[in-house]
Amino acid sequence: MISIDNGERYCGGSLIKKDRVLTTQKCCIGAETFSIFIGGIDEPRRPIGKSTKCKNHDSSNIDDGVCVIHLDAPVSGERFTTIRLPSSSQCSETFEGNKATITAWSRTLNDDPSDTRLIHTDVIVNEKKVCKWANPELSTEGTMCTRDTKEPDDCGGYAGDPLTITDTDGEETQIGIASFGPHTKADCYREIGSPDGFVRITSYQYLINIWSD
């Protein structure tokens, strides 16, 4: 699990290559440098590198979009694994009804990136009409939303956090990037029935592939 500090805000992210980090577009807009941290369950976050280069698209797009950060040097060590993205055959897949998991760093009162722990929240991918009803302006072809399977135990989440499923072959696959909704709010306020919104990775697969080279 990746954590990003762009000097203005903290964001989540995922390692899609040893020197490429995927996050949401809003985490990159206006930023000139990025400090990248990595960590796992029951272990503290630690810095793994910096970056002054990223690729993202037109910031006027209402559905937020994606950003690929290029690390100055690849992450070393076999224990740091990359996350798989959807295959080309899944580009038209909606994933509606699928069980999924949001991985995030729990928030602290002072937003200290070193004073958090990794949490996992089980969710269900909502139907598109549910997303549209809850967030008519933000729900587009490039977004998807989820509902919790139970009341969250932790206050957690930042824009950029990955949404994953266990694919049919048993491998973890990232299908979304946290973008809007209660998960990304600093006060964690959650209205009843309010879903969390994510950038739909399959809508940006082509750009991600180009920017990751």
Q: Which two tokens stand for residue 150?
A: 């139970």
The domain at 2-82+205-212 falls in which architecture? Beta Barrel (2.40)
C-alpha to C-alpha distance for 202 and 149, rounded to whole angstroms: 24
pLDDT of amino acid 195: 83
Q: Is 205 exposed, middle or buried (0-12, 13-18, 19+ CB in 10 A)?
A: middle
Angle, CA 128 vertex, CA 186 and CA 161 arms, to 5°: 35
Which residues 6+ apart lie within 8 Å of 136 measured at CB?
none
pLDDT of amino acid 84: 96
Q: Which two tokens stand for residue 8?
A: 């203005």
Q: What's the sign of the alpha-carbon dihedral 56, 102, 111, 118?
A: negative
pLDDT of amino acid 52: 55
Topology adopted by domain 88-202 = Thrombin, subunit H (2.40.10)
State which amino acid sits at residue 148.
D
Per-residue pLDDT of the chain (213 residues; tens, 9 = 90+): 677 776 667 888 999 998 899 998 888 887 777 888 776 555 555 555 566 566 665 555 555 688 888 888 888 776 778 999 999 899 889 999 999 999 887 765 555 555 567 788 899 999 888 888 877 777 778 889 998 766 655 556 788 999 999 999 999 999 999 988 766 665 555 565 578 889 999 999 988 998 888
Q: Can you give the residue ranges of every domain in the chain?
A: 2-82+205-212, 88-202
Domains 2-82+205-212 and 88-202 share a fold: yes
pLDDT of amino acid 131: 81
pLDDT of amino acid 171: 94
State which amino acid sits at residue 165.
I
